[in-house]
Structure 1
Amino acid sequence: MKSSSTEPVARSGLELEDIGFAVLVVLISLAGAYLLTPYFGAVLWGVVAAIMFQPLTARLAERMGGRKNLATAIVLFGLIALLVVPTILLGISLVNEATALYGKIASGQIDFGRIFQQLLGALPSRLRGFLAEYDLTNFDSIRRQFGSSITSGLQTVAGRVLTVGQGALSFVAALGVMLYLSYFLLRDGERYGEMVRTSLPLRPETRDSLIENFLLVVRATMRGTVVVAVVQGFLGGVLFSALGIEGALIWGVMMGFFSLLPAVGTGIIWVPVAIYLFATGDTGKAAIVVFCGVFIIGMVDNVLRPILVGRDTRMPDFVVLIATLSGLELFGLNGFIIGPVIAALFIAVWNQHRDQRQAKVETAQGAPVPVQTEALAARAAEEAVAHPS
């Protein structure tokens, strides 16, 4: 008579069912990612907001006796008041100023021909001769290449006014998704983070290191990039407005945008403005622009960024530049976060790979590896419990 055994049969290697389930997990994950593409930006900013402010929400909830819902609502309303509403108002003001500036260009109040002739007349004769050799003193050709692009660019921005009503519904929906997602991630971020952490098919030490790098880079990017950009753009806009320079808000926003790029920075805006002021004989304003650009706007980056970012999360400037430009090209405005995060994770993954290979080499050469000793001791303890003498 055969006895039926209920003990599980030990299996070695992957079976067809395991491979099929792994393929199913990959396909469903890709389908889920594709499903989020219409609101990719909203989801991204919701996750970023949770990463930035979830620790603050947890501390506030602890001080309020564990009332997470109330603490989350306070933090969320604070984000709306301090970030969302000012951003919307800035966008409206930017479109209005661009519309007015385009109107002045179209009506001839801003004459690029006169500005060009003033700049050309202020140049040394030798430099004017050099420009003449390459036909760069012909304003008509310069206007076709440069002035028309400025006009069309302003016209595009101004044309956004006509499409605000058409895009208002999608914008409100995206904003609602972001705030709704932020609420739940701020309230239950630790639980969701633990679910993601334990679901990743990686070794614990590798997994924890990559997650730590991801969180550090996101927080460092937001603190050291967004804060610096806002401060530099604000200072530049105030400076240009105080000097009576046309389109101060537009120039301030552009300085904030270009501050995202290392090795380029806000100088790409204020240096040409200072040159123009020198060329037109307004040396006092030009000197003020140069002084403020170098010693105030420029020093913001040198002072604030190391404080906000720290040295542990700093990447080489050329990596940040390439990653930011590529991210902006591929993902639009969201790319200034996605690009540096991908670059940082790329570096972190290859550092992990290098460390693991180095550990294997040291093991092969007979070097003591404490982690393996602890693992062997733990295995011996498990066998002792399973087979007591």
Structure 2
Amino acid sequence: MATNRFYFITMLALVLVLGYLTFQIIKPFLAPLAWAIVLTIVFYPLYLYLLRYIKWKSVASLVVLFVIILLILGPFSYTSYLLFNEIQALSASLGSEQLESAKGILHHPTIRSLLDRVSSALNISLSEAEVRKAFVSGISRVGKDLLGRLPGGVGNLASVVMDFVIMAFSIFFLLRDSADFLVKGRDYLPFSPEQKEKLSGQIKDIVISTIYGGVVVAIVQGIIGGIAYALLGVHSPALWGLTTAVASFVPLLGTFAVWGAITIYFLIMGMTGKAVILLLVGVLGISSVDNILRPVLVGARTRMHILVIFFSVLGGINLFGLIGFIIGPLVVALFVSMVEIFRNFEGGLHA
């Protein structure tokens, strides 16, 4: 009896220590590995379809991987190219007339009144020349700061490229050896076949509904943004609508990075009315779609309450970053399922 207890404690200690060390080894690659698992689940039906015509698993995995890379890099590269050309054209078209229009915001009655009040309250001089000088000085400091951050930006780009390579590498093997991974993974779970099937189905439903929900939300936000930009006279509204859709996948800032920047541009150019309209459309229309539509789309398939989906998405993004909008609802759903399994297990013991 004592020998069995010692054996159990020793094995448990070894499992915990080795498990901790394994986690520390994999920890730097958790984000790309999580994305690889998510994309493997989403594109697994395509892989199975290709296996009907392609008998070699490695070739089918490479084809699916190529499709995934094309779907990720294609829209991003095309949008970046168009955006770069648009910014170049905008810079070339900014002549003295446009610059004078931008300076004209200092003559706006509201801005002038605000500057006079601040000047009177602080007993300092805030003449137009001094404000312009401060503005130019601020822009200069921002430029120097951006140049100072350039090496770090290059380092971040290298990190992103490395994560992308790791993700692609993982997707290939997860697709090719998916059957082995599934069998071994299920064997390690100490549950009944019905419970294992329920958990695996729940994971699949949450991942697929979250991805598809995110794509639908991005399309709707891009359409609303594109229509608003067109009505407000923004140059190349289709491009900025597409940029808004792509930006919806960026954590924290999201679509605000696009419509917020255009709103600020309107303010600088003295187009206060357009700025206010776009601000209202952005807050009440574009950004609200994410908070309303995403929980509805995810909750419809996962049978989770909208409020639970809402907070699990926000909390997941806050804790895990961009991948958190999938991991958040997944963790909460699995927690609920585990509680149900434990409750049924306890009920069986007391029966």
User: Does structure 1 residue 180 correspond to structure 2 residue 169?
Assistant: yes
Deviation at 1:153, TM superposition (A): 11
Indicate the residue corresponding to 2:15 in structure 1.
25
User: Does structure 1 residue 327 correspond to structure 2 residue 313?
Assistant: no
TM-score (normalizing by structure 1)? 0.61
Deviation at 1:181, TM superposition (A): 0.9
Q: Does structure 2 conserve the Cα–Cα contact (< 8 Å) formed by 1:323 and 1:339?
A: yes
The CA deviation string for residues 18-64 of structure 1, in whole angstroms up to 9 with x for no partner, is 332233223222222211222222111111111111122012212x0
Unmatched 5+ stretches in structure 2: 112-121
Deviation at 1:185, TM superposition (A): 0.9
Structure 2: how far apart are the matches of 1:344 and 1:30? Answer: 25
Aligned pairs for 1:9-20 (under 5 A) are: 15-20=5-10
Indicate the residue corresponding to 2:50 in structure 1.
60
The alignment of Structure 1 onto Structure 2 pairs a total of residues equal to 335
User: Whose helix fraction is larger, Structure 1's or Structure 2's?
Assistant: 2
Indicate the residue corresponding to 2:116 in structure 1.
none
Indicate the residue corresponding to 1:232 in structure 2.
221
Question: Larger relative contact order (C-alpha < 8 A, sep ≥ 6)?
Answer: 2
Classify 1:354/1:92 alpha carbon distance in 2 versus 1 (closer, same or farther; 3 Å). farther
The residue type paired with residue 307 of structure 2 is: F
Q: Compare 175-184 and 193-202 and name the one that shifted more.
A: 193-202
Select the residue among 202, 209, 213 that pairs with 1:220: 209
- The alignment yields a C-alpha RMSD, in angstroms, of 5.5
Q: Does structure 1 conserve the Cα–Cα contact (< 8 Å) formed by 2:199 and 2:334?
A: yes
Aligned pairs for 1:187-206 (under 5 A) are: 187-206=176-195
Structure 2: how far apart are the matches of 1:205 and 1:228? Answer: 34
Structure 1: how far apart are the matches of 2:80 and 2:148? Answer: 13
Aligned pairs for 1:43-192 (under 5 A) are: 43-62=33-52, 64=53, 66-88=55-77, 90=79, 109=99, 120=110, 162-192=151-181
Percent of pairs identical after alignment? 29
The CA deviation string for residues 345-367 of structure 1, in whole angstroms up to 9 with x for no partner, is 2222223334445x449x74xxx
Structure 2: how far apart are the matches of 1:44 and 1:170? Answer: 16
Q: Does structure 2 conserve the Cα–Cα contact (< 8 Å) formed by 1:197 and 1:207?
A: yes
Indicate the residue corresponding to 1:353 in structure 2.
342
Q: Does structure 2 conserve the Cα–Cα contact (< 8 Å) formed by 1:327 and 1:335?
A: yes
Structure 2: how far apart are the matches of 1:167 and 1:36? Answer: 20
Structure 2: how far apart are the matches of 1:167 and 1:275? Answer: 27
Unmatched 5+ stretches in structure 1: 1-10, 122-134, 365-389
The CA deviation string for residues 115-152 of structure 1, in whole angstroms up to 9 with x for no partner, is 5985948xxxxxxxxxxxxx9xx9x9xxx9xxx89x96
Q: Does structure 2 conserve the Cα–Cα contact (< 8 Å) formed by 1:95 and 1:161?
A: no
Aligned pairs for 1:252-291 (under 5 A) are: none
Deviation at 1:286, TM superposition (A): 7.3
Indicate the residue corresponding to 1:38 in structure 2.
28
Deviation at 1:253, TM superposition (A): 5.2
Deviation at 1:74, TM superposition (A): 1.6
Indicate the residue corresponding to 2:233 in structure 1.
243
Classify 1:260/1:180 alpha carbon distance in 2 versus 1 (closer, same or farther; 3 Å). closer
Deviation at 1:182, TM superposition (A): 0.4
Structure 2: how far apart are the matches of 1:159 and 1:235? Answer: 37
TM-score (normalizing by structure 2)? 0.67
